[in-house]
């Protein structure tokens, strides 16, 4: 079976034939529909396409207040290191200057302190809650949370809070109280990671697993997080989504949306590589957005490990599985997976190319703290190390440049994504709105590549139009409805009229 037929068969299997399989070399441009998969959504959420999310693991980012350094052990990789809200506030000018527009901050709630003697671990990351209604003393207090929100908003930056509804910490305040016994599932640790029932009803590594079928639990979670939202947050990043039944999420997301402003974003983490599996949480679970884990695995295969660029086309061909692929959040790494640079063998050129992709494709891109300075780390806690300030200024400038290019282009933020070319080494796509247009050509090979790439039928560019590469300033001219793209090794072109 040819690759073209394999892709069509894949589209049939997923019910995606309405999007077409893209403009491959040899197929007339515009002979198929674009994969602009739009679902119904509030117009207010459209503004999120303008955002670039930056994830800060608070304890590891910046220490701005030595007075809250309780039990801080900087040399213990699983201990508290002292980062706090004051530290993040002090770094707002840096993040603003980088081009970040939304902060995603790790959970603020009071976390486990006493695990060192029992397991050698502390709740520095925020995902082991003792009390969902208190601010962790290592980070600050509610007044400091409000100060962060006010100062970020004054810079035009949004703030998204990381929340957990699946489990509490080992020291969760109600865990051993008989009054709350029915709040928890009692099936033991997950024994089959391929079985959905176990994913939703088993425990993660002995953490107390909430029973969301219990009306008291459901009401408590909705009330707790609605109260946090009232402080002025602009959205929630929701943890461990696949470990909670979808009917809970449908109720939770509906009620949180009703109690918050119209553009309050609910962004879910479904750690899974299948587009159809992830998409159902946007559909049935009623999340506005999801981290694009299926694309993450493809980006890792292609850019870090050197797989064929055709895999990108195959992945984007599945976008119609989602009610709204344009609000997905593409990313290269985070605190739960190896840092990209470690996967890429330390090759910064691979990271630069992958960043050019992530920051120009459809969606709301997410960056992990330290990616812009070339941090590495394969597994926890290596991938959660202290921020390495100033480690790679040249890479930081590259990220800053990409973010400015994105900010200055309506097409790169809001445009339909239309594939223009694919082969094993080169992948190219256009981003089009009614008034703006941009084209991106990515070269994943170790040699300079030259391609004559036909324009899409949807393109309004006329012969003679001069296109400038936003990265280098080099110019190419549209000739006979084609562009001649000369792309450096492990490089990218971002072309605009």
The reply to whether 287 and 335 lie within a common domain is: yes
pLDDT tens for each residue of 324-369: 999 999 999 999 999 999 999 999 999 999 999 999 999 999 999 9
**Count of structural domains within the chain:** 2
The reply to whether 431 and 475 lie within a common domain is: yes
The reply to whether 421 and 396 lie within a common domain is: no
- Of the three residues 360, 390, 407, the one that is the final residue of a domain is 407
Identify the pLDDT of residue 120.
Answer: 66
Evaluate whether residue 171 is within a structural domain: yes
Evaluate whether residue 457 is within a structural domain: yes
Residue-wise DSSP of 246-308: HHHHHHHHHHHHHHS-TT-EEEE----S-HHHHHHHHHTS--SEEB-HHHHHHHIIIIIT---
The reply to whether 491 and 466 lie within a common domain is: yes
CA distances from 158 to 50, 133, 227, 268 (A): 11, 22, 18, 17
Domain that holds residue 17: 3-33+415-496
Collapse the DSSP code of 484 into the 3-class scheme (helix H, G, I; strand E, B; otherwise coil) and give the result. strand
Evaluate whether residue 38 is within a structural domain: no
- Of the three residues 407, 439, 464, the one that is the final residue of a domain is 407
Evaluate whether residue 98 is within a structural domain: yes
d(CA 213, CA 201): 10
DSSP-derived secondary structure letter, 467: E
The reply to whether 15 and 106 lie within a common domain is: no
The CATH number given to whatever domain includes residue 109 is: 3.20.20.80
The reply to whether 192 and 324 lie within a common domain is: yes
Evaluate whether residue 159 is within a structural domain: yes
Identify the pLDDT of residue 43.
Answer: 84
The reply to whether 321 and 349 lie within a common domain is: yes
The reply to whether 196 and 311 lie within a common domain is: yes
- Of the three residues 407, 441, 467, the one that is the final residue of a domain is 407
Interacting residues of 329 by C-beta distance below 8 A, sequence separation 6+ = 53, 267, 289, 290, 291, 292, 363, 364, 365, 366
The backbone torsions φ and ψ at residue 263, rounded to the nearest 5 degrees and listed phi first, read -105, 20
CA-CA-CA-CA torsion sign (6, 11, 12, 17): negative
Identify the pLDDT of residue 115.
Answer: 56
d(CA 321, CA 325): 8
The reply to whether 327 and 449 lie within a common domain is: no
Return averaged pLDDT per consecutive 10 residues of the chain, 497 residues in all. 39 33 31 32 86 98 97 92 98 98 98 70 93 98 98 98 97 96 98 98 97 98 98 98 98 98 98 98 98 98 98 98 97 97 98 98 98 96 97 98 98 98 98 96 98 97 98 97 98 98
Q: What does the block give as tokens for 74?
A: 């900087």
Identify the pLDDT of residue 10.
Answer: 38
The reply to whether 420 and 370 lie within a common domain is: no
Please choose, from the candidates 454, 488, 481, 159, the residue with its C-alpha nearest in 3D space to the C-alpha of residue 356: 488
The reply to whether 273 and 370 lie within a common domain is: yes
The CATH number given to whatever domain includes residue 451 is: 2.60.40.1180
Identify the pLDDT of residue 357.
Answer: 98
The backbone torsions φ and ψ at residue 289, rounded to the nearest 5 degrees and listed phi first, read -140, 160
Cβ atoms 293, 301 nearer than 8 A = no
Interacting residues of 450 by C-beta distance below 8 A, sequence separation 6+ = 484, 485, 486, 487
The reply to whether 93 and 195 lie within a common domain is: yes
d(CA 86, CA 362): 34
């Amino acid at each position: 079976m040819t690759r073209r037929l394999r892709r069509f068969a894949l589209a049939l299997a997923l019910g995606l034939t309405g999007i077409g399989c893209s403009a491959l070399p040899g197929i007339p441009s515009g002979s198929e529909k674009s994969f602009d998969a739009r679902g119904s959504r509030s117009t207010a959420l459209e503004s999120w396409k303008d955002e670039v999310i930056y994830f800060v693991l608070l304890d590891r980012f910046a220490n701005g207040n030595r007075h809250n350094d309780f039990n801080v052990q900087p040399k213990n990789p699983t201990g508290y290191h002292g980062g706090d809200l004051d530290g993040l506030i002090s770094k707002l000018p840096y993040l603003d200057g980088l081009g970040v527009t939304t902060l995603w901050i790790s959970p603020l709630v009071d976390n486990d302190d006493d695990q060192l003697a029992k397991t050698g671990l502390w709740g520095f990351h925020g995902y082991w809650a003792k009390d969902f209604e208190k601010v962790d003393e290592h980070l600050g207090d509610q007044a400091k949370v409000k100060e962060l929100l006010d100062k970020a908003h004054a810079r035009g930056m949004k703030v998204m809070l990381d929340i957990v509804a699946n489990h509490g910490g080992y020291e969760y305040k109600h865990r051993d109280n008989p009054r709350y016994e029915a709040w928890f599932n009692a099936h033991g640790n997950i024994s089959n990671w391929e079985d959905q029932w176990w994913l939703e009803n088993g425990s993660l590594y002995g953490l107390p697993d909430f029973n969301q079928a219990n009306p008291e639990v459901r009401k408590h979670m909705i009330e707790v997080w609605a109260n946090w939202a009232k402080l002025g947050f602009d959205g929630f990043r929701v943890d461990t989504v696949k470990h909670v039944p979808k009917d809970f999420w449908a109720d939770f997301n509906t009620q949180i949306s009703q109690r918050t402003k119209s553009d309050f974003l609910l962004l879910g983490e479904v750690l899974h590589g299948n587009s159809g599996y992830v998409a159902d949480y946007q559909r049935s679970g009623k999340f506005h957005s999801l981290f694009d884990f299926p694309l993450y695995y493809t980006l890792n295969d292609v850019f870090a490990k050197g797989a064929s660029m055709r895999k990108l086309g195959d992945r984007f061909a599945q976008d119609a599985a989602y009610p709204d692929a344009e609000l997905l959040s593409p990313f290269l790494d985070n605190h739960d997976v190896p840092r990209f640079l470690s996967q890429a063998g330390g090759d910064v050129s691979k990271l630069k190319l992958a960043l050019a992709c992530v920051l120009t494709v459809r969606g709301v891109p997410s960056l992990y703290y330290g990616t812009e300075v070339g941090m590495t780390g394969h597994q926890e806690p290596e991938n959660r190390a202290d921020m390495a300030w100033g480690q790679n200024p040249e890479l930081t400038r590259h990220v800053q440049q990409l973010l400015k290019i994105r900010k200055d282009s309506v097409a790169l933020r809001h445009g339909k994504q239309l594939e223009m070319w694919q082969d094993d080494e080169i992948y190219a796509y256009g981003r089009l709105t009614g008034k703006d247009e941009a084209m991106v050509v990515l070269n994943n090979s170790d040699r300079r590549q030259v391609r004559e790439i036909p324009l899409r039928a949807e393109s309004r560019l006329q012969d003679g139009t001069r296109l400038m590469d936003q990265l280098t300033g080099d110019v190419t001219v549209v000739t006979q409805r084609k562009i001649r793209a000369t792309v450096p090794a492990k490089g990218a072109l971002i072309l605009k009229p």
